[in-house]
Structure 1
Amino acid sequence: MGTIIIELMGGLGLFLAGMNMMSHGIEKVAGSKLRSILEAFTKNRFLGLVVGLFFTAVIQSSSAATSMAVSFVNSGLMNLAQASGIILGANIGTTVTALLVAFKLSAVAPIFVLAGAIMCNFFKAPMVKKSGEIVLGFGILFMGISAMSSAMGVLRDMQFVIDFLANFTNPFLGMLLGLVITSIVQSSSVTVSILVVMASQGLVDLRICMFVILGCNIGACTSALLTAISGGKNAKRTALIHLLFNIFGTILMFVLLLLFGDFIESIVLMVAGGGIDSGTLGRQIAYTHFLFKVFQVIVFYPFMNWIIKLTYIIVPGEDSLPEEKENEFVAHFISNALPDPSVAVYVAVKEMERMAYMAFNNLNLAVECLIDVDEDGANQVHETEKYINYLNMEVNNYLIKINQNAIPLGDANKISAYFHVNGDIERIGDHAESIADMIPAFKDRNLTLSKQSISELREMMGAVNVVLEKSLKMFVSGDETYMKDVLDYENRVDNYEMKLQDAHIERLKEGVCSARAGVYFADIISSLERVGDHATNIAFALTKSKADA
């Protein structure tokens, strides 16, 4: 008996280890891409549903998908309606693991283990190693299933097991068991997969498994609820959407099973194939899980707005900030609350993007205020620069925190570049401030720029704005089609500096411009040329293409 228990627990351990290794490997290899898809293609609930389904099916974890949705909402990158779509999709996507288990791939598991081990140990390329982790995890997962199946085959013939399972028919106990186990392992996929293995050995029947699956639905909400504890009100509402959807769905299915259990069972048998006593019981349970989830999504999809409204009743009010922090609020994160590491890097990029646009706008404001000799505008430039400096420190601290956590391989390689980009954005803000610093001298000495100087300055500023815009888009999107425009306009900015310096010297000779104003004008165009350099640094931060250009 002791040997059987050890084999059963060992098989379960292999299954859990393989599942974690596979999902973590996928996250490291493709996490940043999947995360971008998750945020970009959730503009409406249906798209969110499709993306949530795909995302969960790939990473084999609805808990990760819903926790990520909570983090996105908490970071201000997604609203509740968008998050609700991801949650609906994740509920269907989570059934993929059990469906795979039901197809009994254990015979080929050693091949995957060997292939994965070779990729992890005999290749130096990080991407191959991480891909090997996925393959190895897949093989270990099915070897664990094979070990559990072997142990359960022996248990099936033991009289005390037969007697216990014969009396295990209470639907409430079945639900409770599913809820407790899933809450502990924080994965409905694991619990249902174990049910599939047990059923394939004839240890449980289809009807009681249906009630256990209903309990799994509620237990699967644990991860999202834990993630939301440290988040704001909207993060808590997101976790509640997940919980309420599963509670309402469980209640509905529970009542339907009590009233129409035989009919529902016949539908499952028709879809999955085989009879109730055939060797296809494991597949029938996997299909039950899938059909329940699809049915719940179809029924409750039209009522998701009502569920969202209910979360506002349960969690009333809006997030508030301490009074002294009102002018220092970081839009996409609060520095002491790091979201899910898989979301954190994306959040940092979005915050740097917001900070960059603030610096760009401040630069334009500084130039126009200098032209108009507007001291009030100069004060506004200085206030915004304080905010930019604050954001710069917060982003740096945030990146340090991210670097201390386990993050996808692709993101880990980018962290150093992000520090440099953050610095380049802050330097652009400094150039705006240095231009604004000239305004008091212009007013005190009654200085003005000539009409020709103003025209040339605005012309150069137009080229600077284009290179800033294109560079930021290239950095945020990773789209290298912006590269040509970035290089072209950066060259234009360089040419403008030389051209304007020469024209300025000619005006000084002709007495069109004053010598004092001329000194400031030379400093301005020099600052704008440096801004162009910083913009190019931002564009090429994540690519080696600059060296080849």
Structure 2
Amino acid sequence: MLALVALIAVPTASAWGAEATEAGIDWGTMAMSLFGGLALFLYGMDQMANALKAVAGERMKDILARLTTNRFMGAVTGAFVTAVINSSSVTTVLLVGFISAGLMSLAQSVGVIMGANIGSTVTAQLIAFKVTKAALLMIGVGFTMLFASKTERIQQYGGMLMGLGLVFFGMGVMSDGMAPLRSYQPFLDVMAHMQSPLVGIAVAAAFTGLIQSSAATTGIVIVMASQGFVNLPTGIALAFGANIGTCVTALLAAIGKPREAVRAALVHIMFNVAGVIIWVAFIGQLADFVEWISPKHPELAGSARLAAEVPRQIANAHTLFNVANTLLFIGLTTQFARVAEWLIPDRPLGEEMLVVRAKYLDEDLLATPSLALDRVRLEALHMGERVEEMLARIMPAILSGNRETLREIERMDDAVDTLHAQVIAYLAKISRQSLTEAQTSELIRLMDAVNDLENIGDIIETNLIVLGNERIDAGVSISQPTREVLSELHAAVTRSVEAAVHAVAQRNELAARNVTSMKQEISRIADSAAVHQARRLVAEEPNRIPAYTIEIDIIEKLKRIYYFAKRMAKTVPTGDSSEVL
């Protein structure tokens, strides 16, 4: 939309930098003001959003996880979280993680997505307050907090204040730059065409899709309204277009993501488009109602009155529209979810198994390290489930399985290695962000944990599978008493790995302590198994020596797996400084 304004403002290359035209407009100066102001505006919004996510990201995640018990509470929570972190896309990404982890159904998430649209209107409400005169003060104070303070939290609040100041300062630059257009008839003629609702919706949708920020589009509309270029019905149509255009962000975010992410994006699109379709015929009635509830300035006339009243009216219409849509559709959350699941069905099981990829790692959360690290913990659980399956299947395969069974388990480790590589790459990206000391420590602990988990998979692949093949090559038959002894040790080690995975994924201190406290139990069972093997060594059985060697190696490799499970558990802070070695 602002690009359209710039094209109008710079009609020919020869006019660039001209001192004046028939309207007395300096096109070069205007173009610099428009694009420079837009750059400051968008950069300020990004700065403010990043600071907000750094300050409140982790707490907002917890609130979102706990308070989405029903569709109404979900809508309220979605509005609150999105308003605080200033990003409906981050809210949607969090929802996808909860759905993938089984913590929330798609139907429950629909209410939160509806509420997120309400929360996204808070930025427009802030922009509608005419505080551009205080913009430089906000930038100065925020800059001082950001660069003079050594306290991280104060720096984050400083970044937030400076970002907000840049938003208002950019608005002021754009507004001043557009002022000469009040007397430029070609521009006024183009703006007259914008009064067609469908044209306004199309232009705003295209512009929002281009810059991927509905709040920025609404802010620019308010800037234009502050100069008297946009009346209320036109502003409402442009806000409708921004609501549709923001769906492009959801679509782009869903590309290459799991089915849950695509469905959440589809729900977002259906909700926003359906709302606009319903309301487009009632723009006049909505404008009348908003004029009635908004502040008035009867002492002014003409474009001056429009400039004084319309910015607040547009912001109110934007909020009212999204609140009304949420109230209208909140009873249809289950239906929205069913349509999304029907349009985006689950992959056939065989196809899903061929695609080995991380379920929870999301690039959109890298700018919020606390949330990104939380996703790594979820992915550790995903990776751990595959390792646990390998561990559960390996003992029966060693004792009595065939070569094909062993090859199947060996292929499972390829998936573990792939997930490990993706997690490490994601952690490397997080490490390039601005991290607190606590976040840096957590990143290192998570890296150690996933490395330990990958080592467990490698022991199964490179050691235990080899022992299974040796048993087949030597024609060894494991006796029933020995099977019972080895199975007891295997069961204990399996419990330790499962507890270690959950300790890391859920930051579960109790599970971590349970793993480290299993040392005596594992040692007792292993020693008992070794004694049993020593007694069996003198038994008059065929292939006794090869069998003994294989059985002792199995015990040693199981003990080695417990060692890595214990190391994993020790990456979880338990408040106990003692080391269990």
TM-score tier, shorter chain, comes to 0.7 to 0.9
2:19 alignment counterpart: none
The residue number in structure 1 matching 2:479 is 448
Is the aligned partner of 1:526 residue 2:556? yes
CA 1:428/1:224 → structure 2, altered by over 3 Å: closer, same or farther? same
The alpha carbon displacement at 1:86 in A equals: 4.0
- State how 1:19-418 maps to structure 2 within 5 Å: 19-27=45-53, 31=57, 46=72, 48-66=74-92, 80-122=106-148, 132-151=158-177, 154-155=179-180, 158=183, 160=185, 164=189, 169-200=195-226, 202-231=228-257, 236-258=262-284, 261=285, 264-269=286-291, 271-274=293-296, 279=308, 281-308=310-337, 310=339, 315=343, 319=347, 327-330=353-356, 332-333=358-359, 340=364, 342=366, 349-367=377-395, 373-376=399-402, 380=405, 382-397=407-422, 399-400=424-425, 403-404=428-429, 409=435, 417-418=445-446
Greater displacement, 352-361 / 59-68: 59-68
State the Cα RMSD in Å.
4.5
Q: Which residue identity lines up with residue 425 of structure 2 in the other structure?
A: I
- Listed one character per residue, the Cα deviations across residues 514-547 of structure 1 (whole Å, up to 9, x for unaligned) are 8776655544443333222211222333659676
| Match runs of 1:465-480 below 5 Å | 465-480=494-509
Kindly provide the CA deviation profile for residues 23-56 of structure 1, in whole angstroms up to 9, marking residues without a partner as x.
Answer: 2334456556656766787686556534432332
Cα distance in structure 2, aligned partners of 1:400 and 1:280: 51
TM-score (norm: length of structure 1)? 0.78
Q: Which secondary structure does the structure 1 equivalent of 2:518 belong to?
A: helix
Unaligned 5+ segments in structure 1 are: none
1:397-443 per-residue CA deviation (whole Å, 9 max, x = no partner) reads 45326635876747777555544433322332344454465456398
The number of equivalent residue pairs is: 533
Moved more, 22-31 or 352-361: 22-31
Distance 1:59 1:530, change over 3 A: same
The structure-2 alpha-carbon separation of the partners of 1:62 and 1:429, relative to structure 1 and needing over 3 Å to count, comes to closer
2-side partners of 1:28 and 1:408: how far apart?
A: 10
Residues in 1 aligned to 2:188 and 2:465: alpha-carbon distance in whole angstroms: 85
CA deviations 1:370-413 (Å, max 9, x no partner) are 6xx4224x853552232123321343145326635876747777
How much has 1:20 moved relative to structure 2?
0.9
Distance 1:234 1:113, change over 3 A: same
Deviations 1:7-28 (A, max 9, x none): 4443332211110112233445
- Partners of 1:236 and 1:357 in 2: CA distance: 24
Query: Is the Cα–Cα contact under 8 Å of residues 206 and 285 in structure 1 kept in the other structure?
Result: yes
Q: Pick closer, same or farther for the CA change 1:415–1:52 going to 2, 3 Å.
A: same
Greater relative CO (CA pairs within 8 A, separation 6+) = 1
Instruction: Name the % identity.
Output: 28
Counterpart-to-counterpart distance in 1, 2:181 and 2:532: 94
Amino acid at match of 1:403: A
Equivalent pair of 2:420/2:451 in contact (CA under 8 Å): no
Q: 1:68 to 1:339 in 2, by over 3 A?
A: farther
Cα shift readout 1:232-279 (whole Å, capped 9, x = no counterpart): 776555433322322221121111234xx2xx3454345444467674
Give unmatched runs, 5+ long, in structure 2: 1-24
Task: Answer with 266-275 or 90-99: which moved more.
Answer: 266-275
> Do 1:178 and 1:191's aligned partners in 2 also have CA atoms closer than 8 Å?
yes
- What's the CA shift for 1:476? 0.9
- The amino acid across from 2:388 in the alignment is F
